[in-house]
Amino acid sequence: MDGNGRWATRRYLPRVAGHKRGMDTLRNCVRLCGERGIRVLTVFAFSSENWKRPADEVSSLMDLLAGALGREVSLLQAEGVQLHFVGDRSPLSDKIRAGLVQAEAVTAGNQRLIFNICFNYGGRWDITQAAAALAARGEAITEASMNAAMSLAHVPDPDLLIRTGGERRLSNFLLWQAAYCEFYFSDKLWPEFDAQALDEALADFAQRERRFGRTSEQLAAPESKRAA
């Protein structure tokens, strides 16, 4: 979700106004995904690098998260959303950490849409914590054991990754999980990412041929003939 700050600056507003508008966009996006039958939505809300921003912006982002925990969870509950917070929680305040646990517990039984909010997340952090956990347990490091130890082990790898705001970078998001992901870059700033923009991304995705290392000819053949 990139472009909140620019959206605000272009309107002579403080950056936090962009983050607030971005929160409205996210609420709408969750609803749209549910309506479209998408089963998993994962968003990058705060990266491990975002701590380098000015202290007042960091604290506004923390306040927005704390406010959302109070306000939005009943709405997510009504929409059948199962919430997960993904990332290193250790530097967050006790109050926020308790709020994350509570929000996850309240929504744990919901099945319509799994909604992962990556907060103080980094792809390298995730790979490192997974490897460290395996090493601490004395387990062998294999692709399967790493998959099981990653912070997104509860969902399949993403099919489509959308980055808004015109940048064409991964910025330390889903490094492990994006191995076969389709990328879609939108020049729209996140606060402007509406239903039409989402549907354009989904239509673009629907046209892609996903070969997972195979050839087009293999994909055209019946399943039984595809092996090796």
Contacts with 224 (C-beta within 8 Å, 6 or more apart), sequence order: none
Active site residue 204: no
What, of Mg ion, ligand IPE, none, does residue 163 touch, CB below 5 to 8 Å by kind?
Answer: none
CB of 59 to Mg ion, least distance (A): 18
Check binding of 1 to ligand IPE (CB under 6 A): yes
User: Can you tell me which of 34, 87, 158, 165 binds ligand IPE, judged by CB under 6 A?
Assistant: 165
**80 or 166, CB closer to ligand IPE?**
166
**Helix and strand counts by DSSP (H, E) for the chain:** 9, 5
CB atoms within 10 A of CB 17: 18
**CA torsion sign, 161 to 165 to 171 to 173?**
negative
Alpha carbon distance 109, 87 (integer Å): 21
In the window 2-41, what residues touch Mg ion (CB under 5 A)? Answer: 2
**3 or 122, CB closer to ligand IPE?**
3
Check binding of 186 to Mg ion (CB under 5 A): no
Q: Give me the catalytic one of 4, 28, 50, 199.
A: 50
What are the CA-CA distances from residue 47 to residues 76, 86, 118, 149 (Å)?
23, 11, 8, 20
In the window 43-82, what residues touch ligand IPE (CB under 6 A)? Answer: 46, 50, 61
**Contact predicate 81/30, CB 8 Å:** yes
Instruction: Categorise residue 178: left if φ over 0, alpha if ψ from -120 to 50, beta otherwise.
Output: alpha
- The residue with its CB nearest to ligand IPE is 5
CB of 183 to Mg ion, least distance (A): 17
Q: Where do contacts with ligand IPE occur on this chain (CB under 6 A)?
A: 1-6, 19, 46, 50, 61, 165, 190
